[in-house]
Chain A
Amino acid sequence: MNPKLAQKIAFIILLLATILVIVPVGMIVVIIVVKGAPAINWEFLLAMPSKGMRAGGIFPAIVGTIYLVAATILFAIPVGVFSAIYLVEYARENLLTRMVKLAIINLAGVPSIVYGLFGLGLFVIFLGFGPSIIAGALTLAIMILPIIITTSKEALDSVPRSYREASLALGASKWQTIRHVVLPSALPGILTGIILGISRAAGETAPILFTVAAFYLPRLPRTMFDQVMVLPYHLFVVSTQIPNIKTEYTYATALVLVGIVLIANLAAIILRSKYRKKI
């Protein structure tokens, strides 16, 4: 084939593939905004639901989602980042480490409903937490751990060996080297993993189904052991379980969920670019 023609064809295929990626994302956002935005007002955001969720607001579900994601991150970040540090900096290459790494990869591929059932068995029933924020957060934390560990591991691996050597050669201990040189350099990459984790935790329905999500609970949680309404599940409920509901109400719920994920991600991205500039 004529190389010029081949070049043109390759370019067009690559461009089309890229456009195909954008189109669904764009359509989802446009449809949700167009159909949901009219229903969004202060009452919708800040009031309790009423009339069997056909009227009023989604305040408890918003608060529930925020609590749940915050608690998840609180559990998942330290465990995920610390274990990534251990695997990269301390673990020797042996059968056990290889098995741990394999387990992490496999854990990332487990369907989310399985996590839900696991959480139900372990946290809700066996440990006796009942359906609660803590049970849901722990379940979600286990689900997003592989994401956080994998991205943190990659970020730590990409810190040049020479930084470590330079620090050690100055008499710094291994931990001081990790704490003052390796971690700051890896932080932007680690934050990327955390962003992905937040999005996943905020949006999943299956893991929270049996562990925390309340069908209808028009009050705010008082402790970590209370059940709450959560946006993804609420969205499922209002779109399938409640007859004669206004469609704007459903779309507005979706819009709020997308908005919360977006705000959380934006915060992490701003934090990340701040650290990038420092380096």
Chain B
Amino acid sequence: MTIKIKTNKLNIYYGDKQAVKSLDIEIYNNEILGIIGPANSGKTTFLRSLNRLNDLSPSFSHDGEVLIDGVDIYSKGVDVNSLRKRVGMVFALPLPLPMSIYENIVYGPKRQGLTDKKKLNEIVEASLKEAYLWDEVKDRLDLQAMRLSGGQQQRLCIARTLAVEPEIILFDEPSSGLDPISTARVEEAMVKLKEKYTIVLVTNHTKQAARVSSRVAFFLMGEMIEIDKTDRIFTNPKDSRTEGYISGKFG
């Protein structure tokens, strides 16, 4: 298995507060890595460092390396916009932009300068199909995206991310606002996407991590306590804190 993402002694700070502590992690091509852990364990902070969305917070600083395909994404020559094109993100709450379904999907490609109508149409159809939404919306692509149900909105956000042809997709608690049926559909999409993309999934649902991940990492107070194959983490964790969290003793 080839390594897609690798960090070396990654420390992340917000002002004086350290959110991620000396993190060494390797994420493989075409796997779903689930990251679990209680609130304030640095999961989301780590995730947002992979597409440099952390840069938006003025108090953010870091040291150590974040390598994608062997290149430190925080090094000088890296263009943030093209990095974010390669590393897509699906947020905790469905966040369609205030425009139509169609416009939401073509938003990314259009910003890269694509204007060919036929190509854009193809992208819309392909990405909606990949996100399992096409059949539900194909007759009403001009509908305001906000009018869709929560689960549909979240799959639209996945489709929108796929439209820019990323290599990695970050999911930040993608089903925290969704009902169980919508969650199942999002998970179904995720498992299918693994074949083409590398996926990092931060989740508060331990069971969700168990259902979809190839491997699971357990974060606690900014440290990665343990990382292992999903079944091993859930049946035979090495650290007692991991066991405590999984069995519901805290968190």
Interface of A toward B, CB cutoff 8 Å:
92-93, 162-173, 176, 180-181, 184-185, 279
Contacts and interface: CB of A to CB of B under 8 A. Distances in A.
A171 B98 contact: no
Given A163-B95, A180-B111, A184-B98, A169 B88 contact: yes
A169 B51 contact: yes
B84 interface: yes
Interface residues of B, number: 23
A185 B96 CA distance: 13
Interface string B48-85: 00010100101000000000000000000000011011
A171 B111 contact: yes
Contact of B160 (A162, A170, A176): A170
A172 B111 contact: yes
Contacts of A163: 95, 97-98
Given A93-B58, A165-B53, A170 B95 contact: no
B53 A170 contact: no
Contact of B84 (A92, A162, A169): A169
A166 B81 contact: no
B98 A170 contact: no
A12 B17 CA distance: 53
A171 B91 contact: no
Interface of B: 51, 53, 56, 58, 81-82, 84-85, 88-89, 91, 93, 95, 97-98, 107-108, 111-112, 157, 160-161, 164
A131 to B, nearest CB: 46
Contacts of A185: 98
Contacts of A92: 58
Contacts of A176: 111
Nearest to A162: B95
Contacts of B107: 167, 170, 172, 180
Q: Find the residue from A93, A170, A185 having the highest chain B CB count within 10 A.
A: A170
A165 B58 contact: no
Q: Find the residue from A163, A165, A169 having the highest chain B CB count within 10 A.
A: A169
Q: Find the residue from A162, A166, A181 having the highest chain B CB count within 10 A.
A: A166
